A and B are shown apart, each in its own frame.
Chain A
């Protein structure tokens, strides 16, 4: 139901995208625009379309309420209820009541009607209006096959609220079983929207419930029951929350270990894990995130907030790419890795703390899935532009920017990055349209590209620093999309610069330290430092930056440009961490709380920025601050104590 005027307005851009939904890499032919058809037919017809989804072969159909009943009556939940009743001296009925309440709060009530309405009208309209197109990998037949064979867990990346229901939209369009989606309980605070989400298949989990055994039991059993019955694909975000920085967050293990348990206990033959990468050319919450990172509190989720956001949404947000990765068989991952004996010796309905090797396995799987997500993220030309621009502030010659962007494109592709840049699209056009889409961040002034880092009028020095930080963080959040592709060769480059040595051993030990320090900042598969190093070296060799022998690493002539670019790319993190460490060693004499830490560092860095003693604006990012602290805790430099 988009107005004809609007769609016409956008049509030139859309046209390019529609006709040339090609990507520069091997994966180019795998994408298909799902809005294309939507624009041509009516929403009503879409809503009423014949939907006969592919479902799990062993499914015994049941209603959402039947699942709740089954969960309540399950041995697992009953066991915990009895235990708690005994311990607290309460009647089991009261605890059962409590469990029912938890379940009512948590449970979805997916109704096809609601889904049709929600997806077809709300989302369709929204999507058609604000996005040029939604492009999705068309290798869905693998997913289709997976859904029929075994229970499926969908693991999308999480960059935006739009991620919610994005997959439902996709699966509905392609006639696949609709997923149930794990959502944070805060959504329930939103009137109507919460209930609508519930009907669209969302179920709600509290943010932390580690200590509440009843809640844990009910929640885990709820998820497992749906999984075992093959009721629907289960969708949740490994990152746990939206990444405010567009970098992948380190994974959370709780929900993942829940969905893996039925396989460990052999209640199902196998479970498919499907990494899904959702890439946004322009993120809806971009400025919101920047504010949040700078410590301006995020507005509480509310319906009116959403409506307001909708009003702000008069812009174009470019393209969304959804890449549904190949389903990964949990059985294959586990084969030969874990000893299931502990599960054989305890009745399966008893809650059991996973053994160490199981925990390690869960963590490995989580990292692997995130790395797969990263591998299939689609990078837009703007990401390259942002990365170049940030190294050339405050202003950069337009032609030079284009030249550098094209250079970076080549490098990114060498490193395996997946860029949406049609072969026949000239560089100037690509950069221009990227700038147009992100005109709120950067613009062209007299042949130079500058950040929009000035307020309307010059304010106090603090104001200027804040505005500038905002612009840099926003821009940085796009550059960040490159980082996980670049991190291995870049850390080698950094290590080369830092050690000023040719000896592989020395470079490696520096690399290894950097990797540990940044273990929460970037995604590394646990415990394979040497392999990461070798990969970094390999990629640098591949782009002719270095040559290696058995013992030594040499920089080539061409290499110094690449190496200095790479280290400059990660310089903000190195400097930022240094600032944070400086704060910790100088400013804190005694114990501090986590709550005090972030504002403390922020003030410290802010003052340095005001005085001009540093240019590292990104150290203001609360994300970086928290990551640095977490890494220090992990390395044992800082100790965490419960008070």
Chain B
């Protein structure tokens, strides 16, 4: 499998192409989207929507009640060993011998106690589609593809919050979209928004469906017809401008397709959020997304040059595509993070870069988390952070360890033993305290090697020991498969979620410790019988602070209302974050899940400013997903 070649064989001249294969390797899709006739002709671009990785009928490729591809999941095989199925990921088809023990030890879970999801969607449970006939007639006249099919609608009624998945497994949403429409270009969107205004309907834009902020949930009290505006068929790269290194792209394109297609011309955006297989460009803009390699390429707000958005008031865009302008507050910043409350982003001009020549993974072991954070702080101070640098705490390190596949040869296992001996016995690291930083370098080969040395030198000053490329690479691979683990947990009474924040450097340690401790304490108070799994990683570094990512999961056997308990604990954790000087969100957004803290976060006046924009742009609340405000 292509992905196996990643990094380790650095230095070959075709590394750029290999990088491409990596992405297409672990992100390989079926690419069978139906082409619908379209009047849209983009300037100089190919006609009609490109064949994206994610089909229009999402259910053909993706799980209806869990994360990711149908064929990829963790299972316990006949021997009772954990295994990851499918061929999409590097871990695919591999046996994970220690994973079962880890689950049992960490959660007190047992393979004998299983819950089962409903096998399939029960169409009879689905709320009926209520759409008035006049609108349907108008819609048909536009020739825009639409569907009132129950599956299509349920698929677009949720993101990937725990409670949403839980509802899919065991119940049904009270309110879902009444109709799904698939515009294929900007003009289609304009027509749809016009129709919605005319008939006073509610539009909820849908991109990749990877929201973890309840942003896609339909407000229960919404009486109007809800249109789910699926942007997935607006997925073309309209043009590439090599002189200015920009590309104009339709907003529905998903991350993996964008990188694949740009790669064919030798470019990339470098924007790689963990959800990049499924999440869309428009979604990134709407949530103020952040990518793993932001240290080189920047976050979405650094990448975006121009945005075109269709609102009930009309189209909003700038008159030029320039690197910076001083024309009052940047209107892009009303759009970025608006979470679908103002309109639909249709086209985005984004910065592109030549594909990097060389990529190298790395990892460093630190004696403890404190030293690790100190090292990351120093790296940030010297502004020499590699494309990505992440520090996982001990619990997450052990988690990663449990996901190690069976080693093929005695030699490898001997080497592993030797490494372990060296670190724990010879260097005196306590395996229950140590933590690991994973690194990804990118760029010219020369510079990468130079850069690598600089970072490792700093690490040494903080007691760090280089721990090999393989560990680093595995760390990043896990980012993509970790989302699949929750579905396995759900089968065994384990529920969990991740959440994130950003925090000034001097508070990182206190925040990590306090939030983890708060989770443990809340679990105890709420009657959770086994100590929860509560772990964090410092996942981005900035000049003034860092982004911290938490995973939190627990065994809910014996609890009658696990989702409620879960939500209370998550809420307590968020309150703890805020009390520790952390932000409401670094990149997941607010949605409906974190709305209650908005006033506290941006002040009354701040909230009023946002409200007045909403009132001007969308006075009739056509974009009525009720996010943010």
Contact between B514 and A266, CB atoms less than 8 A apart: yes
20 contacts across the A-B interface (CB closer than 8 A): A266-B507, A266-B510, A266-B511, A266-B514, A266-B579, A266-B580, A266-B581, A267-B510, A269-B513, A269-B514, A269-B517, A269-B518, A340-B578, A340-B579, A341-B600, A343-B581, A344-B581, A347-B506, A348-B506, A348-B507
Query: Which B residues are in CB contact (< 8 Å) with A269?
Result: 513-514, 517-518
CA distance A628 to B513 in the complex (A): 48
Alpha-carbon separation in the docked complex, A347 to B513 (Å): 19
Interface centre among B506, B517, B581 (most CB of A within 10 A): B581
| Closest beta carbon of chain A to B236's beta carbon, Å | 45
**Which residues of A sit under 8 angstroms from B510, Cβ to Cβ?**
266-267
- A347 vs B578: C-alpha distance when bound (angstroms): 15
Residues of chain A whose beta carbon lies under 8 Å from any beta carbon of chain B: 266-267, 269, 340-341, 343-344, 347-348
Residues of chain A lying within 8 A (CB to CB) of residue B506: 347-348
A421 CB to nearest chain B CB (Å)? 39
Contacts of B579 in A (CB 8 A): 266, 340
Closest to B517 in A: A269
> Can you add 4 more A-B contacts, CB < 8 Å, to A266-B581, A343-B581?
A266-B507, A266-B510, A269-B518, A348-B506
Residues of A within 8 Å of B518, CB to CB, are: 269
Residues of B within 8 A of A266 (CB): 507, 510-511, 514, 579-581
CB nearest to B503 among chain A residues:
A344
What separation, in Å, do the CA atoms of A341 and B600 have in the docked complex? Answer: 9
Chain B contacts for A348, CB-based, 8 A: 506-507
Residue of B nearest to A344 (CB): B581
Q: How far is the CA of A347 from the CA of B507 in the complex (A)?
A: 10
Q: Is the interface of B mostly helix, strand, loop or mixed?
A: helix
What residue in chain B is nearest A345 (Cβ atoms)? B581
Taking CB atoms, residues of chain A closer than 8 Å to B507 are 266, 348
- Closest beta carbon of chain B to A333's beta carbon, Å: 14
Q: Complex Cα distance A111/B580, Å? A: 36
- Which residue on B lies nearest to A150, using beta carbons? B517
Chain B residues near A (Cβ < 8 Å): 506-507, 510-511, 513-514, 517-518, 578-581, 600
- Residues of A close to B517: CB separation below 8 A: 269
Query: Nearest-CB distance from A62 to chain B (Å)?
Result: 15
**Please, how many angstroms separate the alpha-carbon atoms of A343 and B579 in the complex?**
9
**How many angstroms from the CA of A490 to the CA of B418 in the assembled complex?**
78
Q: How far is the CB of B572 from chain A (nearest CB, A)?
A: 10
Output the nearest chain A residue to B511 by Cβ-Cβ distance: A266
Q: Closest Cβ of chain A: how far from B521's Cβ, in Å?
A: 8
A267 to B579, CA, bound (A): 11
> Which of B511, B579, B581 has the most chain A CB atoms closer than 10 A to its own CB?
B579
Chain B residues contacting A267 (CB-CB under 8 Å) are: 510
CB of A227 to closest CB in B, whole Å: 14
Q: With a CB–CB cut-off of 8 A, which chain B residues contact A343?
A: 581
Q: What separation, in Å, do the CA atoms of A343 and B600 have in the docked complex?
A: 14
In angstroms, Cα B580 to Cα A348, docked, is: 11
5 closest A-B pairs (Cβ-Cβ)?
Answer: A344-B581, A266-B580, A269-B517, A340-B579, A269-B514
Which residues of the other chain, A, contact B600 by a CB distance below 8 angstroms? 341
Taking the nearest CB of chain B, how far is it from the CB of A588, in angstroms? Answer: 50
B600 to chain A, nearest CB (A): 7
Kindly name the residue among A267, A340, A344, A348 whose own CB sees the greatest number of chain B CB atoms within 10 A. A344
Which residue of chain A has the shortest Cβ distance to B582 in the bound complex? A344
Min CB–CB distance A4 → chain B (angstroms): 53
**CB of B544, distance to nearest CB on chain A (Å):** 11
Shortest A228–chain B CB gap in Å is: 10
Contacts of A344 in B (CB 8 A): 581
In angstroms, Cα B581 to Cα A341, docked, is: 8
Report the Cα distance A341→B603, complex, angstroms: 11
Cα(A435)–Cα(B578), bound, Å: 60
Give A340's nearest chain B residue, CB to CB.
B579
CB distance from B24 to the nearest CB of A (A): 44
Q: Whole-angstrom distance between the alpha carbons of A575 and B326 in the complex?
A: 77
B501 to chain A, nearest CB (A): 12
Q: What residues of B have a CB within 8 angstroms of the CB of A340 in the complex? A: 578-579
The smallest beta-carbon distance between B580 and chain A, in angstroms, is 4
Which residue of the partner chain B has the closest CB to A349?
Answer: B506
With a cutoff of 8 Å between Cβ atoms, the chain B residues found around residue A341 in the complex are: 600
> How far is B514's CA from A347's CA once the two chains are assembled, in angstroms?
18
Task: From A269, A343, A348, name the one whose CB has the most chain B CB atoms within 10 angstroms.
Answer: A269
Shortest Cβ gap from B13 to chain A (Å): 50
- Inter-chain CA distance A534–B372, complex, in Å, is 57
* Closest-CB distance, A272 to chain B (whole angstroms): 14
A residues within 8 A CB of B581? 266, 343-344
In the assembly, what is the distance between CA of A276 and CA of B569, in Å? 33
Q: For residue A347, which residues in chain B have a CB less than 8 angstroms away from its CB? A: 506
- How far, in Å, is B329 (CB) from chain A's closest CB? 22
Q: Chain A's nearest CB lies how many Å from the CB of B241? A: 43
When chains A and B are docked, how far (Å) is the Cα of A347 from the Cα of B506? 9
Chain B residue nearest to A265 (CB atoms) is B510
- The residue of chain B having its C-beta at the shortest distance from the C-beta of A341 within the complex is B600
A228's closest neighbor in chain B, by CB? B510
Q: Which residue of A lies closest to B506 (CB)?
A: A348
List the A residue with the shortest CB-CB distance to B518.
A269
Question: In whole angstroms, how far apart are the Cα atoms of A203 and B506 in the complex?
Answer: 29
Residues of chain A within 8 A of B511, CB atoms compared = 266
Name which of A266, A340, A341, A343 has the most chain B CB atoms within 10 A of its CB. Answer: A266
In the complex, residue of chain A having the shortest beta-carbon distance to the beta carbon of B580: A266
User: CA separation between A271 and B431, bound complex, in Å?
Assistant: 29
A266 to B508, CA, bound (A): 11
Give Cα A323–Cα B579 distance, bound, in whole angstroms.
34
Smallest CB separation, A519 vs chain B (Å): 33
A269 to B517, CA, bound (A): 8
Task: Write the chain B residue with the least CB distance to A338.
Answer: B579
Q: How far is the CB of A380 from chain B (nearest CB, A)?
A: 40
CB distance from A622 to the nearest CB of B (A): 45
Nearest-CB distance from A331 to chain B (Å)?
9
With CB as the reference atom, state the residue of chain A lying closest to B583.
A344
Distance (Å) between the CB of A352 and the closest chain B CB? 13
Q: What separation, in Å, do the CA atoms of A505 and B177 have in the docked complex?
A: 60
- How close is A268's CB to chain B, nearest CB, in angstroms? 8
Q: How far is the CA of A340 from the CA of B507 in the complex (A)?
A: 14
Complex CA gap A343/B582 in Å reads: 12
Minimal beta-carbon separation of B92 from chain A (angstroms): 41
**What is the bound-complex CA distance between A237 and B514, given in angstroms?**
29
Compute how far the CA of A512 lies from the CA of B38 in the bound complex, rounded to whole angstroms.
81
Distance of A396 Cα from B579 Cα, bound (Å): 62
B373 CB to nearest chain A CB (Å): 15
Q: Give Cα distance in the complex from A267 to B506, angstroms.
A: 10
In the complex, A347 Cα to B517 Cα: how many Å? 23
- Report the Cα distance A266→B513, complex, angstroms: 10
Measured between alpha carbons, how far is A343 from B581 in the docked complex, in Å? Answer: 8
Whole-angstrom CA separation of A348 from B579 in the bound complex: 13
| Residues from chain A with Cβ under 8 Å of B580 in the complex | 266
How far apart sit A619 and B506, CA to CA, in the bound complex (Å)?
A: 56
A148 to B517, CA, bound (A): 14
B328 to chain A, nearest CB (A): 27
Complex: chain A residue closest to B601, CB-CB:
A341
Would you give the shortest CB distance from A221 to chain B, in whole angstroms?
16
CA distance A382 to B223 in the complex (A): 76
| CB-CB nearest in chain A for B516 | A269
Cα-based distance from A269 to B514 in the complex (angstroms): 5
CB distance from A151 to the nearest CB of B (A): 13
Roughly how many angstroms separate A192 CA and B628 CA in the complex, as a whole number? 67
Determine the distance from Cα of A269 to Cα of B510 in the docked complex, in whole angstroms: 8
Q: Among B510, B511, B578, which residue has the most Cβ atoms of chain A within 10 A?
A: B510
Q: How far is the CA of A556 from the CA of B70 in the complex (A)?
A: 81
In the assembled complex, how far is the CB of residue A612 from the closest CB belonging to chain B, in whole angstroms? 64
- Please give me the residue from chain A that is nearest to B579 by CB atom: A340
Cα–Cα distance between A348 and B511 once the two chains are bound (Å)? 13
Chain B residue at minimum C-beta to C-beta distance from A264: B579
A344 to B581, CA, bound (A): 5
CB distance from A367 to the nearest CB of B (A): 24
What is the chain B residue whose CB lies nearest that of A339?
Answer: B600
How many angstroms from the CA of A347 to the CA of B600 in the assembled complex?
Answer: 19
Taking the closest CB of chain A, its distance from the CB of B327, in whole angstroms, is 30
